[in-house]
Structure 1
Amino acid sequence: MSPATLHRHFTAATGMSPLRYQKHLRLLSARRQLLAGDVTAAQVAHTVGYTSATQFSREYRAFYGLPPVRDITRLRAGTTSTAPAPPS
């Protein structure tokens, strides 16, 4: 299967490009790690594959609507006023 065909089939099946899907999985993993433990956003960013904590925070905010620390604080408090942004 050619790369273009794979990309087309992948996008049809998931609703997002392979790169966007990978980012989505990284951000989901990061959110789980932040909720589960006493780790910093910078540590988690590195763990899930980001070389820049700033880039991680920017992408996290774009996806979830809040920076990592504020999102996790909100989730731990049990409030859900900000819903995650849909993948584009």
Structure 2
Amino acid sequence: MAESALSDAIDAAVGAEDIILLTRARFALGELLFQQERDAEAMPYLQAVVRTERVDGAVDSEVKASARMLRQIRGIEPRE
């Protein structure tokens, strides 16, 4: 259910051309999949978040957390 709602939020953010909402929705879905150990499914969402840059820092925490999860998936850091 949460996965479907997050997918809908991603679609809505794309339609609204809202990069902050899109990034946060991608992060939430990637984090959910990561927590469920569905790493292959989580990676594209987390990678998309990491590629997002905002001068105002609006999504810095999501970018940093996504980078950390990607390092854990790749075995660079221990999984928490």
TM-score range, shorter chain: 0.3 to 0.5
For normalisation by structure 1, the TM-score amounts to 0.36
Query: Which structure has the larger Rg?
Result: 1
Structure holding more helix per residue: 2
